[in-house]
Structure 1
């Protein structure tokens, strides 16, 4: 079950999610004001092109590692707009990535950036796969961002400084123009027999745990099983309104029956 919600009505959703018979992908596109002057295609285009290329590669090249497939997908999308856009600029479109793939009797996973992947285990606590580097670095910029008007020139300058930490040693790593970023992803695998389900979340959805602390991860998995992914996003939207927090695109891909041929069947849209 998949739920996708743009941050607000009328705004293009910059998340992407999709599935093929043995894999599911979630992409969370990232950009700041000014991105459109650097890349004429935009963040939503980048996210959907990266996701589409990944799904194609996952279907056609099942024997390569997830990191290798992500590197090739990044290179393909970069080549598509290298001649028309400044792909190396710090504010050109980028994205975080979460991938789940069934391979024989195991499930493989990859996380790059601040998307979250949770494996629900039958006899143990959920295994939460995260990449905390961007969150850690962003904290040092938060006081400066809070001290200036959002959207102003100084705000954009600070965001540019933050984005300059991307894809460099000591910084954080995302899908952008450099395929070598895929080598920095968090990867692993576990036996399918240990799992009951899995879920991929963009950071706009994972804030139900890591920002608002409305649930822990076992609680999230319980709500998904009983009420579905739309209920998680509904609770996030309520919390955003209550705390006067700007809404973010929120996407959840809930994968059940992992031993079956297709890990993530249906799609639904949830209004903010």
Structure 2
């Protein structure tokens, strides 16, 4: 792993018939003095991004915290990807969730609604295919050599949250009424008809958005946390083809810089922002 101006560049060697890929990663904490609750990492033929969910009160039920959960989940998933290349991505994510849950089941209230959780995005090269998985509000973008980018996202949390948004905006933050609305919203998490995230139940992995594309059709890919994807879905500073072009020309750090500027301009609370940009898919 090599430090660059754009972040961390992983120069990956050939990896069997799938060869390898180059991954440039940048992760920026929301504010100085806080802990980054995102994780990203890569293997010769895989990249993982985990976007930890920070919820007020988590410390009361889990002594480890969201950053610990995101890093342990991401590290466990990378390890499983390296050791079990023939197993499906949902199966590997389910095992990673179970491992992390077991690591703090005896010390923390893992089933509590405010215990640590995370969104996950995975890209893996296998047998000439680029396999992908998205669970929660992370985003994965496949840069198709012919045609526009294929954007893979999980819209269920956004859809479920809409009816609650106006109630939260009209209620004083931190009040009993505000927390009641939040509890009602969170009751939809990891439930049939609701939205799904990595938390304490490995069965959530079966609800992930998955698919594959031939590696030969792709020029690259990008995995983005919710904080980084704001450049498109919140601030409308660019569309996804422009994001792909910016990643190629100036790297992930420039995307995050633009997001930070927009957060300041619109007085929006910053979020941790992380991008893994994968290029040279299948190349030696």
Q: TM-score range by the shorter chain?
A: over 0.9
- Is 1:226 aligned to 2:226, yes or no? no
Deviation for aligned residue 1:45: 0.5
Cα deviation for residue 19 of structure 1 reads 0.6
Greater relative contact order structure (CA < 8 Å, 6+ sep): 1
How far 1:48 moved relative to its partner? 0.4
The reply to whether residue 215 of structure 1 matches residue 232 of structure 2 is: no
- Give the gaps of 5 or more residues in structure 1: 262-272
Residues 1:5 and 1:151: Cα distance change in structure 2 (over 3 Å): farther
Q: Aligned runs of 1:51-66 on 2, under 5 Å?
A: 51-66=74-89
Question: How many correspondences in the alignment?
Answer: 261
2:112 aligned with 1:92: no
Q: 1:38, 1:147 → 2: CA distance?
A: 28
Q: State whether structure 2 residue 157 is matched by structure 1 residue 134.
A: yes
> Is 1:29 aligned to residue 52 of structure 2?
yes
Counterpart secondary structure, 1:10:
coil
| In 2, Cα distance between equivalents of 1:103 and 1:151 | 47
TM-fit CA distance, 1:55: 0.3
Equivalent residues of 1:31, 1:92 under 8 A apart:
no
Tell me if the contact between 2:37 and 2:54 (Cα under 8 Å) persists in the aligned partners: no
2:16 aligned partner: none
Q: What is the rounded CA distance, in whole Å, between the counterparts of 2:142 and 2:159 in structure 1?
A: 23
Which range is displaced more, 109-118 or 144-153? 144-153
Equivalent of 1:183, from 203, 206, 216? 206
* Structure 1 residue 151, shift from structure 2 partner: 3.5
Provide the alpha-carbon RMSD of the alignment.
Answer: 1.0
CA distance in 1: counterparts of 2:232 and 2:207, whole angstroms: 25
Secondary structure of residue in 2 paired with 1:96: strand
Normalising by the residue count of structure 2, what TM-score does the alignment of the two structures yield? Answer: 0.90
The unaligned stretches of length 5 or more in structure 2 are 1-23
Distance in 2 (alpha carbons) for counterparts of 1:21 and 1:173: 29
